[in-house]
Amino acid sequence: MSAKARILDKLRHSLAGTEALPDDFDETLVTEPWRYPPEQRMARLRELMEAVRTEIHLTDQTRWPALLADLLAKKQLTRLLIAPRTDHGRQLSEHWQHRSDAPALHAYDRPVEEWKHELFHDTPASLTGTVGAIAATGSLILCPDRHEPRLMSLVPPVHFALLRASTIHDNLYEAQRALNWRAGMPTNALLISGPSKTADIEQVLAYGAHGPKDLVVLILEDA
Amino acid sequence: MNAPRTFVPQATRTAEPDAAPRTYPEHKPERIYLFGTCVVDLFFPEAGMDAIRLLEREGIQVVFPQAQSCCGQPAYTSGYTDQAREVARAQLALFDQDWPVVVPSGSCAGMFRHHYQELFAGEPDTLARARAVAERTYELAEFLLHVCRVELHDQGPPTEVALHTSCSARREMHTHHHGRALLDQLSGVRRVDHDHESECCGFGGTFCVRMPDISGAMVADKTRSLRDSGATRVVSADAGCLMNINGALKKQRAPLQGQHLASFLWQRTGGQP
Amino acid sequence: MSQPARIPLRDEFNSRARDALGDAQLRRNFRGAMDSLMEKRAAAFSDADERERLRTLGNHIRARALSRLPDLLEQLESNLTANGIQVHWAETTEQANRIVLDIAERRQARQVIKGKSMVSEEMDMNHVLADHGIECLESDMGEYIIQLDHEKPSHIIMPAIHKNADQVARLFERELGEPYTRDVNELIQTGRRILRQKFFDADIGVSGVNFAVAETGTLVLVENEGNGRMSTTVPKVHIAVTGIEKVVAHLRDVVPLLSLLTRSALGQPITTYINMISRPRQAGERDGPEEVHLVLLDNGRSQAFADGELRQTLNCIRCGACMNHCPVYTRVGGHTYGEVYPGPIGAIITPHLVGLDKVPDHPSASSLCGACGEVCPVRIPIPSLLRRLREENVSRPDPGHAVMRGQGSKYSALESTVWKLWRTLYTRPLLYRLFRFFATRLRALTPSRLGPWTEHRGAPKPAARSLHELARKHLEQSR
């Protein structure tokens, strides 16, 4: 008998004569305390994310590339990793063509194996989109895919993320439903709620443990 | 009390639902049973007597069955369940009349109220009796406060006391609320908090002999915070904790001493020690 | 300080406890950390009613999953397999290590980087891989620190909580040749720099799993540092190891459990990263592991599962709140327990993993104060389970019928007889009356030394008259 068969046998034997407990999931518990009027959703998200040292800027669909350029300049970041085949990647590339002072854009357009060294050692910042956010916990939702790979939001020390204000959900329960994850999960889905951090030494909070040291969220007001 | 659930030993269990807040009888009973507990019996008999006096002052006749001994807790928490069950059975037989059972110790009251039902889960007849006794079991402070609805008239000089509540009394009987409410009725008594007030004093029945160093460290911390609280007296409604705390204070030659809540209340309200 | 002669109740647990209690620095480190964790948890659950209802929901979700565990495990396997994740089953830690080694050999792996995983601690994976010439490095900052110092975790969430910054600084100076600094930020940056290179070089990443979702075939990982994401994304192979109890039926079940976990553990509304992995790298994707494996480990869990009461042990979501609130753990720290899982949860789960006879004192390492049960986010009745294990411990060994390995390991004919005498005393009123009489009349003869009791306390002396006597006299008079 295989290990699997033996384990399952033991478990089934232990449950003999017993019944599965009923599913009494009470969704009000994970929704009602975590609902916000539309005008407060963004404020809540902002408050929670700023509390864990996230930088947040309000902008809009047309002005964000210019704001991003300013922020990069202010932070003296000379290179930015982008996903060239996303809408925001294209929009940024176009905007950049009109600016001579803008830092270099670098496209994540190859398998990581082909440029891993550069990604780890010479990529100070990145820009990604998000598929939404969660007001209750102050979290961005990212679903990396073949256009916008997973490591973009992890390896570069500064991560810029674009968030459409209209995609902020009240809570994780409602976000899961809206994104219909039950019917099929993305390959990788992430909730990101600030820059990487640790309190493993003496419980002193330190940012920039293994992931980004800085998380900058540009909220596009579109509602 | 929750309705009995059908007991299937191997069924997957969900947590017992939290008990609804206890409702209390509208009128004081004429008679009650006192279950004195084994520690009070030998080490704090005056506390038991003061409990009787407090109850009698409320116009209640106290019945003290002479065949009572111990609730069974020491064996129960040590894993000697069968021995605990027999001692428990002997107690249950003594409280047959439909009178409240009042216990001047929160953890022993908790045994009556909660754990007897576990001990007799497999014996329907005794279980029914255990349930009936549990229904009418009260910790002393709870009984004075909620059933007698006492109004205490403080006659003592201004003083400051720290209240220690046993952990099982706190979690199973909410004795800390009752103790505080009673002390707060005393106009000359200021109740002072102590550091880590809700933390265990380290007694834990046989724990204090099985893990003597850890228990010793716990009671050292507890007595330090009691001494640092500025209180001139420690009051507790649990004799086990008092024995532990007083023992440590004595070893430290500290002037501070702990007193049973019943004795403190009796003496502050004009009763003779 | 000279110690009085010891009665032979002493054992390994007590002797380790004695060492820990004598280490003032260690005690300060733990007390400070536990106080702060308790405060943070309390602040994160400011609404007591919401907290209690959520704990009940958490309990029901876990119990419901356990009530159909074998079906859920099969559903999980089938959905993971459909998603391209390879599932392996292991009854023992040896089997689990063999599975990892086989993958490593096939991939010709030389370096493994590990995210935080308590199950890999159960497997002692670091040493097993090292014995086969494979470097297995911890990447969680706390785990990295203790691995560097050849120690075991002292807390399941904060593995290096027993060390202060000075101790970490001296460790880094000694082991890494780094200049001494007490600045926590600088220490963390040192760890970041060194471990980044390790993520870069690693052939395999290993992680634990916080929740395995049966209906979608998803592994959910909860973390703050990003090392879990690194370990599961950068290397070409990701191996997740987890206990068979970690499965939940639905994706929505994760929502309340996550909230309970992060608030109970660290008082955070959520951790920095929630990483939900459902597939390996897909065609056209530019990063992520080519292979993802899940190792499902039993290691004694099916023994706990076999008993309806003990099964509740497997509700655990590994938040650590029980240890943060435990007055025993707070004083002696995690290493005193000598096993992978310390504190109250360690005391109830370790006997199933290693046998009660290997850890006979764990169930006694509690005053049964109830703090652990009160804070457990999934309402495990930890004090009741400790008591149950004490019963298993002292009962006469009954091979063939025992519910657990090592049952009866503390059975002593002498002690059993003492408790039988105790029962006789308290069930025979006449006998008890005689006892009271002599105890009160001969109180002057009470010894001033009563074994361990009087090491820290004065000896109690019986009163001159028992309550029985006083009450009888009083009640007779007032009649």
Taking the domains of chain B in order of start, what are their residue ranges?
Answer: 31-146, 154-268
Task: Find the residue in C nearest to A195 (Cα).
Answer: C272
Q: What is the DSSP string of B206-235?
A: THHHHSHHHHHHHHHHHHHHHHHTT-SEEE
The answer to whether A25 contacts chain B (CB < 8 Å) is: no
- B77 vs C contacts (CB less than 8 Å): 368, 387, 390
Give the position of tokens 């279980």.
B127
Beta strands in C208-261 (DSSP E): 211-213, 218-223, 237-243, 247-248
CATH topology of domain B154-268: Rossmann fold (3.40.50)
Q: Is the confidence at residue B126, as pLDDT, over 90?
A: yes
Per DSSP, the three-state class of C445 is helix
Closest CB to A188: pick one of C95, C189, C277: C277
Same domain, C189 and C274: yes
C239 and C377, same structural domain? no
Q: Which domain holds residue C425?
A: 413-477
The contacts of residue C314 (CB under 8 Å, 6+ apart) are: C62, C66, C243, C245, C301, C304, C305
Asked if C326 and C343 touch (Cβ cutoff 8 Å), the reply is yes
Yes or no, beta carbons of A11 and C70 under 8 Å apart: yes
On average, the pLDDT of chain A sits at: 96
Structure tokens at C337: 């327990």
Q: Which chain B residues contact residue C60 at CB under 8 A?
A: 14
| Same-domain status, C264 and C231 | yes
In angstroms, the Cα distances linking C310 to B237, C304, C307, C392, C403 are: 33, 5, 5, 11, 10
The residue type at A76: Q
Say if the Cβ atoms of C61 and A151 lie within 8 Å: no
Please indicate, yes or no, if residue A170 is contained in any of the structural domains. yes
pLDDT computed for residue C202 by the predictor: 98
Position C36 in a domain = no
In whole angstroms, give the CA distance from residue C59 to residue A174.
Answer: 22
Pair C148, C215 in one domain: yes
- A206/C188 CB distance under 8 A: yes
> C234 and C123, same structural domain?
yes
pLDDT at B20: 85
Do C125 and C203 have their domain in common?
yes
- Tell me the three-class secondary structure of C286-313, residue by residue: CCCCCEEEEEEECCCHHHHHCCCCHHHH
Count of CB atoms within 10 A of residue B110's CB? 27
In a domain, residue A25? The reply is: no
State the smallest CA–CA distance between residue A23 and chain C in angstroms: 7
Q: Does B166 have pLDDT greater than 80?
A: yes
Question: Cβ contact (<8 Å) for A209 and C227?
Answer: yes
pLDDT in tens, B250-269: 999 999 999 999 999 999 99
Task: State which residue of chain C sits closest to B204, comparing Cα positions.
Answer: C367
pLDDT at B246 over 80: yes
Interface test with C, best of A106, A188, A192 (most C CBs within 10 A): A188
CA angle at C440 for the pair C435 and C445, rounded to the nearest 5°: 100
CA distance C101 to chain B (A): 36
| Contact residues, chain B, for C21 at CB < 8 Å | 213-214, 217
**Is the CB of B66 inside 8 Å of chain A's CB atoms?**
no
Q: Do both C372 and C432 map to the same domain?
A: no
pLDDT for B4 beyond 50: no
pLDDT surpasses 70 at A66: yes
Other residues' Cβ atoms within 10 Å of the Cβ of residue A171: 21
Q: How far is C250 from chain A (nearest CA, A)?
A: 8
Q: Is A36 on the interface with C (CB under 8 A)?
A: no
pLDDT higher than 60, residue B7: no
Please state, in angstroms and rounded to a whole number, the distance separating the CA atoms of residues B98 and A200.
58
Q: With bands split at pLDDT 50, 70 and 90, how would you rate the model's confidence at A223?
A: low
> What is the pLDDT, as a whole number, of residue C10?
46
First to last CA, chain C: 57
Instruction: Give the whole-angstrom CA distance, residue B148 versus residue B59.
Output: 9
Subunits in contact with chain A (3 or more CB pairs closer than 8 Å): B, C
What is the distance between the alpha carbons of residues C155 and C142, in angstroms, rounded to a whole number? 10
Report the chain A residue with the minimal C-alpha distance to residue B8. Answer: A18
The DSSP annotation for B55-96 comes to HHHTT-EEE--TT----SHHHHHHT-HHHHHHHHHHHHTT--
CB atoms within 10 A of CB B36: 31
User: Does some domain include residue C403?
Assistant: no
Helix (H) or strand (E) holding A80: strand A79-82
Beta bridge partners, C401, equal none
CB proximity B8 to A under 8 Å:
yes
Number of domains in chain A: 1
Asked if residue A14 is part of any domain, the answer here is no
Non-local CB neighbours of B59 within 8 Å, separated by 6+ positions? B28
Q: Within this chain, do residues C262 and C330 fall inside the same structural domain, yes or no?
A: no
- Residue C135, Cβ density class (10 Å: 0-12 exposed, 13-18 middle, ≥19 buried): middle
| Domain C-terminal end among C237, C272, C299 | C299
B191 and B163 Cβ atoms separated by less than 8 Å:
yes
Helix H or strand E encompassing B125: helix B124-135
Nearest chain B Cα distance for residue C365, angstroms: 7
Q: DSSP per residue over C330-376, as a string?
A: HHH-GGGG-SSS-HHHHHHHHHHHH-GGGSTTGGGS-----HHHHH-
Of B44, B90, B208, the CB nearest to C427: B90
CB–CB contacts below 8 A, A to C: 256
Residue B6: per-residue pLDDT: 46
Written as tens digits, the pLDDT of chain C (479 aa) is 334 433 334 478 999 999 999 999 999 999 999 999 999 999 999 999 999 999 999 999 999 999 999 999 999 999 999 999 999 999 999 999 999 999 999 999 999 999 999 999 999 999 999 999 999 999 999 999 999 999 999 999 999 999 999 999 999 999 999 999 999 999 999 999 999 999 999 999 999 999 999 999 999 999 999 999 999 999 999 999 999 999 999 999 999 999 999 999 999 999 999 999 999 999 999 999 999 999 999 999 999 999 999 999 999 999 999 999 999 999 999 999 999 999 999 999 999 999 999 999 999 999 999 999 999 999 999 999 999 999 999 999 998 888 999 999 999 999 999 999 999 999 999 999 999 999 999 988 888 888 888 889 998 899 999 999 999 999 988 76
Chain A positions in Cβ-Cβ contact with residue B8 (cut-off 8 Å): 17-18
Do C415 and C439 touch, CB atoms closer than 8 A?
Answer: no
Do C154 and C71 have their domain in common? yes
C-alpha A112/C-alpha A210 separation (Å) is: 18
Chain C residues near residue B207 by CB distance under 8 angstroms: 364, 366-368
Q: What is the pLDDT of residues B189-236, one digit of tens each?
A: 999 999 999 999 999 999 999 999 999 999 999 999 999 999 999 999
- In sequence order, what are the beta bridge partners of B34? B102
* Residue at a domain's end among C366, C394, C422: C394
What do you get for the CA distance between the two ends of chain B, in Å?
38
In a domain, A78, yes or no: yes
Q: Which long-range contacts (CB under 8 A, 24 or more apart) does C345-349 make?
A: C345/C156, C345/C316, C345/C318, C345/C320, C345/C372, C345/C380, C345/C382, C347/C386, C347/C389, C348/C313, C348/C380, C348/C382, C348/C385, C348/C386, C348/C389, C349/C304, C349/C313, C349/C316
Sequence-distant (≥ 6) Cβ neighbours of residue C336 within 8 angstroms: C13, C16, C17, C19, C20, C342
Alpha helix (H) residue ranges in chain A: 3-15, 28-31, 38-51, 64-74, 87-97, 116-121, 172-178
User: How many domains is chain C built from?
Assistant: 3
- B79: chain C residues, CB-CB within 8 Å: 363, 387, 389-395
Look at residue C8 in the predicted model and tell me its pLDDT: 38
Domain at C287, CATH number: 3.40.50.10420
CATH number for A194: 3.40.50.10420
Band (B148; pLDDT cuts 50, 70, 90): very high
Q: With an 8 Å Cβ cutoff, is A110 touching chain C?
A: yes
Does residue C398 sit in helix, strand or coil? coil
**Going by DSSP bridges, is the β-strand pair B101-103/B31-34 parallel, antiparallel, or unpaired?**
parallel
Count of beta carbons in the 10 Å neighbourhood of residue B237: 34
For chain A, the maximum distance between any two Cα atoms, rounded to a whole number of angstroms, is 75
Give φ, ψ of C453 to 5 degrees: -55, -50
Check pLDDT > 70 for residue A62: yes
pLDDT for res C212? 98
Residues of chain B contacting A17 with CB distance shorter than 8 Å: 8, 10
Relative to beta strand C86-90, strand B233-236 is unpaired
Is C423 within 8 Å of B211 when comparing Cβ atoms?
Answer: no
Q: Are B36 and B5 in contact (CB under 8 A)?
A: no
Answer yes or no: do B79 and C453 touch at CB < 8 A: no
pLDDT digits (tens, 9 = 90+) for B34-79: 999 999 999 999 999 999 999 999 999 999 999 999 999 999 999 9
Residues of B in contact with A21 (CB under 8 A): 12, 14
In a domain, A162, yes or no: yes
Residue B1 has pLDDT above 60, yes or no: no
Which element (helix H / strand E) includes A206? strand A206-207
Residue C4: predicted pLDDT: 41
d(CA C365, CA C17): 10
Q: Quote the domain boundaries for residue A143.
A: 36-220
